[in-house]
Amino acid sequence: MNNLTTYLAISAALFLLGVLAMMTRKSAVSVLMGVELVLNAGGLNFVAFSRFGNGSLNGQAAALFIMIIAAAEAAVALAIFLNLYRLKASAEVDKADTLQW
Amino acid sequence: MNVDLTPFLPELILAGGILALIVLDLFLKRNRGIVTAIGGVLLLLIVVVVTLNARQNVGVYLFGAVVQDGMTVLFRVLFAAATILSIAMLTFSFPKESEPYILMLSSVLGMMLLAGANDIVSLFVALELVSIPSYVLAGYHRKDPKSAEAALKYVLFGALSSGLMIYGFSLLYGVSGTTNIPKMADMLASQGSFGMVTTAGLILVLAGIGYKVALVPMHFWCPDVYEGSPTPITAFFSVTPKAAGFAALFRLMPVFAAGMPVTGGLMTAVTLFTVVSAVTMTFGNLGAIWQKSLKRLLAYSSIAHAGYILMGFAAIAAFPAGETRDLAAMAVIFYLVTYLFMNLGAFFVVDYIERREGSDQIAVIKGWGKTHPLPALLLAVFLFSLTGLPPLAGFVGKFYLLAAVVKGKLFALAIIAVLNTVISLYYYIRIIKEMFLNDPDEATIPLSKPTPRLAIALGVATLIPTLLLGVAFNGIAVWISSLVK
């Protein structure tokens, strides 16, 4: 089980699930969860390549940075969702349709 | 180990200054916004002086994560100039709040780091530092549903694109085994083509950058965010983060050239950039034709301009080194400089119109040539310059870009760009016709709101470079060429 291909397959699956969640989910929070999956798929790739690929530690450091940035992004995104919820009593993406074309 | 921090001086000054402004803000009772704005402008001026002083220190620092060269200097000065104008613009809308200035300066700190990023990790972190404060800025009018919605769209698209980008970077790291950009380019070049994985990684990275600069198909957020955000903030978005995205693309060009070489790859970088550039400019110009809101129209026009600028990158991809590359790099930077002044100028006038009439619909400026001749004339000049008519700055910018594209032997792209200029003339002229050829409605009595004089002063401050760069372009072009080599 511990070879590069396994990890790459898992991260590719995470990536696809994340993109799928972003495209199909209506709630903004679920869309954000999809985004977290995609970001962590990237992080998993970095760690896997670092461990099984070439042995450089840069990949591990990159994964740390990705986690921190994902947290910062989630904090700002949740604040924006909360504000929209206060105005519209809904945090669904397809209710945000004031601005079109 | 001894770490030399002198190349970081501009960023350190800016970061320290932002913290100082936050602390200073605690002690202010009145004019919080104005004081912070003045502090921010002074800070940026100091950064420009320090950057220009250090322009001879060329080299790679901090274990290869940061590079200092002519391109870094040019982009830092460009970001600072655009931000100073945007901050001045912001003081009308937010004289009592300091937060928008702090957020804007934080975003600029990210751009300054981005200009010197030489490693995919530092590039990604800098790009996120540009983005995250922008999300808050887009939603700054908390009680306005439009602004809240703009922020929602901005943050969701932004998060998606940074996810795609980091996945692309992880694939490139896997293929090349390094996070350092020049080393990555060398590895990719020496390994030959890696086919699918490299190509997929590079396309995902371009998608992430394409979101920042609004390239089709990553442009969906752009018109909505531009319309919903407060106008001075839209003016900032339309220029500075776009320039930052192109700065990142400049750094990544060697990787694109090595990973998608002119011969032998699945898809060449030249094809990719040419197609994206042609589609982007055509889509932007066609979308702009139908718009009734000035801000939305300028949003579509800014998509088209991103397409024009990407032409320069197609030329760089065709000839990654040598004379054509230098000409194209110069053309891109020159275009960004002219675009900075003409686009900010156009947004300044739109902000004035919005303040005066309470709306940014094209219908409200009917007959402005008679009722408000000065702003109408200013807007006309900026729109002619955006079209690319001589003797204005936009013409020279477009001329250099087309020269680079022709030199890169991408004749089809040059023809598409010229045709697009004709389309763009149609919708820019429509605004000018509305202002000068139509009479004002008798029913609409001009509102007696006070004229913001600084707005007109700023309009003039952007007008002079727009006119000057159209006639006296040689000096600045030579200066830019000397720095991009």
- B151/A15 touch (CB, cutoff 8 Å), yes or no: no
Which chain A residues contact residue B167 at CB under 8 A? 15, 38, 41-42, 45
Residue B164 inside a domain? The answer is: no
Number of domains in chain B: 1
Q: CA B403, CA B409: separation in Å to the nearest integer? A: 10
- Read off the amino acid at residue B149: E
Domains of chain A: 4-90 (1.10.287.3510)
* Model confidence pLDDT, tens digit, residues B325-350: 999 999 999 999 999 999 999 998 89
* Model confidence pLDDT, tens digit, residues B144-170: 888 988 999 999 999 999 999 999 999
Residues 291-320 of B with CB under 8 A from A: none
Per-residue model confidence (pLDDT) at position A25: 86
Helix, strand, coil percent values for chain A (each to nearest 5)? 80, 0, 15
* Model confidence pLDDT, tens digit, residues B194-208: 578 888 999 999 999
Kindly state the tokens that stand for B66.
């940061």
Of B135, B156, B173, the CB nearest to A31: B156
* Model confidence pLDDT, tens digit, residues B404-442: 999 988 999 999 999 999 999 999 999 999 888 877 766
CA distances from B271 to B202, B254, B268, B318, B407 (A): 13, 16, 5, 9, 16
Residue B417 inside a domain? The answer is: yes
Residues 463-482 of B with CB under 8 A from A: none
- The answer to whether the peptide bond before residue B452 is cis (omega within 30 degrees of 0) is no
Q: Does B120 touch chain A (CB under 8 A)?
A: yes
The strand pairing partners of B119, in sequence order, are B180
More confident residue, B241 or B367: B241
Residue B452 inside a domain? The answer is: yes
| B344-B233-B381 Cα angle (round to 5) | 20
Residue B48 inside a domain? The answer is: no
Q: Does A72 touch chain B (CB under 8 A)?
A: yes
Q: Does A66 touch chain B (CB under 8 A)?
A: yes
Instruction: Quote the crossing angle between the two packed helices B231-259 and B221-228, to the nearest 10°.
Output: 160
- A65/B125 touch (CB, cutoff 8 Å), yes or no: yes
Task: State the nearest Cα–Cα gap between B321 and chain A, in angstroms.
Answer: 29
Residue B130 inside a domain? The answer is: no
The strand pairing partners of B68, in sequence order, are B59
Judge contact between B90 and B223, C-beta under 8 A.
no
The residue segments making up the domain with residue B288 are: 272-485
Q: CA B99, CA B279: separation in Å to the nearest integer? A: 38
Chain mean pLDDT for chain B: 88
Q: CA A1 from chain center: how many Å?
A: 25
Residue B451 inside a domain? The answer is: yes
Of A32, A48, A54, the CB nearest to B177: A54
- A73/B155 touch (CB, cutoff 8 Å), yes or no: yes
Per-residue model confidence (pLDDT) at position B444: 56
- Read off the amino acid at residue B175: V
Q: CA B383, CA B162: separation in Å to the nearest integer? A: 33
Residue B142 inside a domain? The answer is: no
Kindly state the tokens that stand for A59.
């990949």
Task: Locate the chain B residue with the closest alpha carbon to A8.
Answer: B171
Interface test with B, best of A27, A76, A81 (most B CBs within 10 A): A76
Q: CA A43, CA A47: separation in Å to the nearest integer? A: 6
Q: Find the helix or strand (DSSP H, E) in which B67 lies.
A: strand B66-68
Residue B47 inside a domain? The answer is: no
Interface test with B, best of A3, A73, A85, A100 (most B CBs within 10 A): A73
Q: Is the ipTM of this complex over 0.90?
A: yes
Which chain A residues contact residue B227 at CB under 8 A? 99
Say if residue B193's pLDDT is above 60: no
Q: Find the helix or strand (DSSP H, E) in which B59 lies.
A: strand B59-61
Q: CA B292, CA B266: separation in Å to the nearest integer? A: 42
Q: Is A15 exposed, middle or buried (0-12, 13-18, 19+ CB in 10 A)?
A: buried
Say if residue B187's pLDDT is above 70: yes
CA distances from A48 to A15, A59, B404 (A): 15, 8, 42
Interface test with A, best of B129, B147, B170 (most A CBs within 10 A): B170
Q: CA B230, CA B147: separation in Å to the nearest integer? A: 7
Model-level pTM? Answer: 0.93
Mean pLDDT of B236-258: 92
Task: Locate the chain A residue with the closest alpha carbon to B145.
Answer: A87
